[in-house]
Structure 1
Amino acid sequence: MSETNRLSEDEFAAWNALRPVLDVLPAAIDSRLMRSIGMTQLPFFVLVHLHTEPAQVAGLSGLAACADSALPRMSRVVGRLEGDGLVERAECVGDGRAINVHLTAEGAALVERALPIYDGIVRELLFDAITPEERAMLHEISNRLMARLHPDSGAPLDRQQRPEPGASRAGERELVESDA
């Protein structure tokens, strides 16, 4: 590695401050959610996503894309939710190979009860620790990072390119060259 690619002292300090937060914050939210509602963020995200859909239905592959999850993993998550009576799977009428996931009344009721709990957890662990100005900066920085890390994240789900694990993402070469 050449000296020009090394992190500056300030960059290294910022990265060392952020890196553990990227691990600890999701784990802390998951832990509190598990104690409060009996599930972690991924299955809860699935329920919330379905709850926000007009007919409370989404395709399994669309759910996987929204959650940035592999399809087999999402299938297991949906299977557990189905076993708990929170969702139902059904064959897609227009495409016999596709699976639709429907939120049940029990699943919708859980979302309604759990959203204030989730919001309180996120507020306590994240937003209570920062000022409104820092919250605005966090929002801006997060959007900028997502645009760089996942350039098509704003595109409709069926038009997003999902690189294979370990594959370079679009624009990676330009980022490396421009930072050199």
Structure 2
Amino acid sequence: MAADGSIKIDTRIDTGAFEHTFEDIDKMCNSTKKHLESIAESLNIKTNPIEIINNSQLAKAKKKLEEINAEVEKIQAQTDELLPKAETEEQVVNLLKLEEEQTKNLVAEQNNLNKAISEYEAKQEKIAAEKQQNADVKSINSDVSGTVAGDDFVSKIK
């Protein structure tokens, strides 16, 4: 082998371990996602929030909220009626656990409805404020028009 004075540089990069690491990370992310979904399901957390987009849906949501409130009150009244009859602490604990199980889903739905109603009402207030502001601007424009400077100002706004 004769030495010709050239240098050979191997530019290939071994990415096998790097790609394998990303596959592991992807698997861990999927595993974590599935675990979180199962926890959310076991805790009965609603991942799809309720959204109200018109007044009829608002009325339905308020009616549903009233029904849920009535159902929760009914369950609590039944528990309050049975608690004095409980003879042991274990019976008291069991009654309270039963009440909690019965109301857990209702309370979650109640919270979602309250949030959706509040958000919709806030949007409606914002829209009403914008309409009032536009009406105020039109009123000011009509007050200013009729003067030379006012007519020039109004034409520039339009």
TM, length-normalised to structure 2: 0.28
Q: TM-score, normalised by structure 1?
A: 0.25
Comparing both structures, which one devotes a greater share of its residues to helix? 2
Higher RCO (CA-CA < 8 Å; seq separation 6+): 2
Between Structure 1 and Structure 2, which shows a larger proportion of strand residues? 1
